[in-house]
A and B are shown apart, each in its own frame.
Chain A
């Protein structure tokens, strides 16, 4: 569901939650990103930070410079000025992320969890079962067969929430309960309907089945991709996963370690939201 008007709720005396709907969809996320961009461009005095998420955004403000009511009024005004269609074209970088599916490190991590929780079905098999897939090969083809949309960042520096752009490749899975105590850096997992990449060794809850040697955040900014930002992705970027084997994994890892790795990325494309919607409706007709 999309709300016809943004819904505002105070979160203490210096944050506001702005909700544009309550579903996980590309269309709603594009609206959130467009509103975030417009709020940023408006440079409202006293509005500090925005955390755009899947269907909502958190706005932080300095209550000694602007009141809750005035922030709400300004955002309502900006929302009103946006066209009903939202953005039709937006610059969108495309990253190619090398993935070693069913790698030994995530296998080890899952096995470690199952020592304490033996009833937990191993993650790849759970994903196959939950999505009606025959085997791991089918899971890999399904997961790597679509482009993904960077819908949001957050939880940890650089951690991204990815939505599959091809609806035929949607995977979903319940999250771990209780959560996992650790996850290898660079692990890829699916939780709910999202794919995520773990920027660091952290706790986690997504079902995991692959790992990338490509760093997605670097506090020391060693690689050129991090010259401008400690985190690789921005909302509105796109990601493709390329399956690699063990040998390629180590080759890339060595280049990362010696500081010569170049992130495979192209930034000369514009993503056409309008043409994407046309393509989706053609798919529906098939």
Chain B
């Protein structure tokens, strides 16, 4: 068992690939918002990379372990302590039964991961342990975990290698000040509804800085920035599309889709609604979704135009980074 002493801010059980097959009925895929960090945490803890682990947001949890094993911390930067000793991130950490791990609030990034050897063995709901908190699906039956709860663990091997993630294989979670610089631009592809914007607005989108709003969560990121102008298609449409230029007849929403609600861009992430009535001119491809999961309110984001070929290449490169090849064995844990 893993005991939740403090639950932090919306700490959830997540798993990959998420809840697949029920989107038609409105159940989102869920799963970790930063799958890159999530997978590395599992590999460090000796698990298959898609095993159920904890995701926390902004404020990390305090946990007590009730059996010996190993854990790993990845994702948003936190100053974590195991009992009285500070422990490093991106490394395998041995823990003994009775020890307490306390995570500090995130210094950079938005979401942190705690993987534990054997993984979390909560009940499957519709084929997945991933949590959809807003509807109370997953976890221990009510979405996010609560202080005092005991989370069941899966079977774990008796011995564990101590490993570290090589620096080049870690997601470059930027300090807020450097977000939005050339290296940190978020990939975005045109489509499905880019023809609803005029050409100037498409250029404007990629040339502008966008500020993440505080009204952002695991369903989506709201952003503020310059105003959009629309093509004739946004005006010359049947009345049932709705009265705003940004309204379109209800259609399915892709994960990573950037919709325009009036003048507010909303990027859909892992717990997003499956459908709605705003058009979606751009979509963030899979390999850069982790950047959305690590974006903090007030942070400035910029986007770079990306082709299908670049998206495919980026996804394959990331897939290779999420493997044991990114880990090196170490002798001792050093903080």
A residues lining the B interface (CB < 8 Å): 1, 9-17, 19, 22-24, 48-58, 60, 63-64, 68, 152-159, 161, 172, 174-175, 177, 192-194, 200, 219-220, 229-231, 235
Contact = CB atoms under 8 A, between A and B. Distances in A.
Nearest to B280: A11
A11 B257 contact: yes
B101 interface: no
Contact of A22 (B192, B244, B249): B249
A154 B275 contact: yes
A95 B277 CA distance: 26
A58 B254 contact: yes
A161 B240 CA distance: 13
Nearest to A58: B252
Given A13-B312, A157-B25, A24 B135 contact: no
A17 B308 contact: no
A49 B250 contact: no
Given A9-B193, A193-B240, A200-B135, A230 B126 contact: yes
B243 interface: yes
22 contacts: A10-B308, A11-B254, A11-B256, A12-B191, A12-B285, A13-B286, A14-B254, A14-B285, A23-B240, A23-B249, A49-B21, A50-B24, A51-B23, A58-B253, A60-B254, A64-B319, A68-B308, A153-B24, A154-B26, A174-B243, A192-B277, A231-B27
Contact of B25 (A12, A177, A229): A229
B257 A53 contact: no
A63 B312 contact: yes
A53 B135 contact: no
A153 B26 contact: yes
B274 interface: yes
B26 to A, nearest CB: 4
Contacts of B277: 175, 192
Given A17-B251, A49-B21, A52-B24, A219 B285 contact: no
A158 B23 CA distance: 10
Nearest to A17: B192
Given A52-B24, A230-B126, A192 B242 contact: yes
A152 B238 contact: no
B185 interface: no
A23 B238 contact: yes
A93 B259 CA distance: 34
Contact of B27 (A14, A52, A157, A200): A157
B217 to A, nearest CB: 12
Given A49-B23, A53-B275, A152 B250 contact: yes
B283 A15 contact: yes
A11 B192 contact: yes
Contacts of B137: 157, 219
Nearest to B195: A9
A278 B135 CA distance: 42
B126 A49 contact: no
B189 interface: yes
A39 B252 CA distance: 16
Nearest to A55: B249
A220 B141 CA distance: 8
Contacts of A172: 240
A22 B286 contact: no
Contacts of A12: 189, 191, 254-257, 283-286, 311
Interface size classification for chain B: 35 or more
Nearest to A9: B192
B283 A11 contact: yes
B136 interface: yes
B24 A155 contact: no
Contacts of A219: 125, 135-137
Contact of A153 (B21, B25, B257): B25
B286 A175 contact: no
A155 B274 contact: yes
A24 B249 contact: yes
Given A12-B255, A13-B312, A22-B237, 6 more contacts: A51-B252, A54-B249, A64-B319, A155-B276, A219-B137, A235-B24
A64 B191 CA distance: 20
Contacts of B193: 9, 17
Residue from A13, A14, A194 with most neighbouring chain B CB atoms (10 Å):
A13
Interface string B247-271: 0011111111100000000000000
Contact of A51 (B136, B237, B241, B274): B274
Contacts of B255: 12, 15
Nearest to B21: A49
A161 B315 contact: no
Contacts of A56: 249, 251-252
Interface in B117-150: 125-126, 135-137, 141
Contact of B20 (A49, A57, A200): A49
Residue from A12, A172, A220 with most neighbouring chain B CB atoms (10 Å):
A12
Interface in B273-300: 273-277, 280, 283-287
B315 A231 contact: no
The 8 closest A-B pairs by CB, nearest first: A58-B252, A154-B275, A51-B252, A12-B283, A9-B192, A15-B254, A17-B192, A13-B311
A231 B249 contact: no
A232 B302 CA distance: 42
Contacts of B280: 11
